[in-house]
Structure 1
Amino acid sequence: MMSLLDAKYVQYENHFHNLLLEKEKQFPEQHSITAVTMSKKKAKITVVGDGFVGKTCLLVAYTRGEFPEEEYIPTVFENYAEEKEIDGEPYSLSLWDTAGQEDYERLRPLSYPNTTCFLLCYSINTRDSYDNIKTKWAPEVRHHMPHTPFILVGTKNDLREVDDPNLQLVSLKEGKKLARQIRAECYLECSAQRLTGLDEIIAEAVRASMKKRKKNTKQNPNCVLV
């Protein structure tokens, strides 16, 4: 017999599934095959990681070009549409933000389908968020999307310039080591507050998306990239 809690989750899942369908209509499915090459290639980049590591700030700062000053309110997922030129090619980007809190563990994966690259984020001043990449986030992404590439991202790297002996920061060396351990495409750092590293992260995510898509096309030569 279904408990009241399970019934509540089923209700939420149905509700958020319908919301996702509406969002996906605004941004067509990324892996579709067509005989006509579109003028703009598409990529869906989904950001995951513990709550309060700066995922939302990363995306908002990238899309707005300024650090968000409004109060942070956790949401199950939110997406941003962006038109960008990367390596001389025009792209339509769908950037998906997710909530890292445990309350959303059953709902969060609903936003994963069609993702072309994940950003696994931790804050360099929060050791737990770094440890959780290996124990939680990399396994979760691999479980739901085993063939999708991901990039490891260290946020708030402006703190490296703060002279405070109480700050126990995750080192750049540790970040690179973790990226190798979880087989990430690469390790990058950024500061949403200073607007540094953001363009490089999204560009690398797009490159990883296209690299994976080209590999899939070679395996299935009847496919046409869109």
Structure 2
Amino acid sequence: MTSPMRPKNKNILLKVVILGDGGVGKSCLMNRFMSNQFDENSFHTIGVEFLNKDIEIDNDKYTLQCWDTAGQERFKALRTPFYRGSDICLLTYAVNDRDSFKGLKHWREEFIKYADVDGDSFPFIVVGNKNDVSASEREIGPDEVLAWCQEFHVVSFIETSAKTSENVSAAFIMAVREWKKCERNTDLTDGGDAIDLTRTVQLDSRSKSSCCSGNRNSQLRQTHEVLQ
């Protein structure tokens, strides 16, 4: 979908925020996606850092501005201002850390509050990192994540491994496609007029259902099948 306000060949700039507890591998995910590098001994992010990457998805060109925020509570004052203006949020946990999975609710609520978005229509993606661990180390399975996504109106989730690179690019591509669906639906709700990207668009209940609820169960089932 190309906005009439944007030159044909100009990249679509999307701000992507990666949230989750410290130690779940947010920086490793970002670095794997950005430069295809992995550092198993990387330190926790201090404050906030971001990187840009140009990517083409479904014949549209994007510049993804990915923000990695520190998961530790003491850095909360630094990260919250950066939520504003976000287009996509990756809620990240580690499949071998149940506490990090429990923390997703907190991260979602914090993002909704400080980014000032509608949680039922915003394109959240749940990412379960470190799926390269052994079965005996795993603490959270896909069925549990499916139930969480349905409860909190999250359309999609995917398991990744920054270490092996499995599904890392797929997670970001999935996120962009979910953003595109919501933008297309917003455009239809506005009657096809040009979208003013500087304001918050309030979606009616019909558009929310189409964007983030109508196909949620089937999409989550498809994701589950991939993970089996």
Note the alpha carbon deviations across 1:18-68, whole angstroms, 9 max, x for none: xxxxxxxxxxxxxx9836445322211110010110111000011111212
Q: How far apart in 1 are the matches of 2:29 and 2:69?
A: 12
Q: How far apart in 2 are the matches of 1:211 and 1:173?
A: 25
User: Kindly tell me: are residues 219 and 175 of structure 1, through their superposed partners in 2, closer, same or farther at Cα, counting changes over 3 Å?
Assistant: same
User: Kindly tell me: are residues 179 and 97 of structure 1, through their superposed partners in 2, closer, same or farther at Cα, counting changes over 3 Å?
Assistant: same
CA contact (8 A) 2:17 2:68 kept: yes
Q: Please name the residue that 2:152 is paired with.
A: 182
| 2:70 counterpart of 1:99 | yes
* Aligned pairs, number: 190
> What is the 5 A alignment of 1:1-226?
34=5, 36-69=7-40, 71-134=42-105, 136-145=106-115, 146-147=117-118, 148-159=122-133, 162=134, 165=136, 167-220=137-190, 221-224=192-195
CA contact (8 A) 1:213 1:225 kept: no
CA contact (8 A) 1:41 1:90 kept: yes
Which secondary structure state, in structure 2, belongs to the residue aligned with residue 188 of structure 1?
A: strand
Letter in 2 for 1:91: Y
Q: Alignment RMSD, CA only?
A: 2.2
Normalization by structure 1: what TM-score? 0.77
Q: How far apart in 2 are the matches of 1:192 and 1:202?
A: 13
Normalization by structure 2: what TM-score? 0.76
Q: How far apart in 2 are the matches of 1:35 and 1:46?
A: 23
Higher relative contact order, structure no. (Cα contacts within 8 Å, ≥ 6 residues apart): 1
Unaligned runs of 5+ in 1: 1-31
Q: How far apart in 2 are the matches of 1:36 and 1:66?
A: 33
Moved more, 113-122 or 87-96: 87-96
Letter in 2 for 1:176: L
Which secondary structure state, in structure 2, belongs to the residue aligned with residue 110 of structure 1?
A: helix
Q: How far apart in 2 are the matches of 1:93 and 1:176?
A: 27
Q: How far apart in 1 are the matches of 2:28 and 2:195?
A: 35
User: Kindly tell me: are residues 130 and 39 of structure 1, through their superposed partners in 2, closer, same or farther at Cα, counting changes over 3 Å?
Assistant: same
Unaligned runs of 5+ in 2: 198-228
Note the alpha carbon deviations across 1:63-95, whole angstroms, 9 max, x for none: 111212453142211111001111222211111
Note the alpha carbon deviations across 1:155-175, whole angstroms, 9 max, x for none: 00011xx26x4x252112112
Q: Please name the residue that 1:17 is paired with.
A: none
Which structure would you say has the larger Rg?
1
Which secondary structure state, in structure 1, belongs to the residue aligned with residue 132 of structure 2?
A: helix
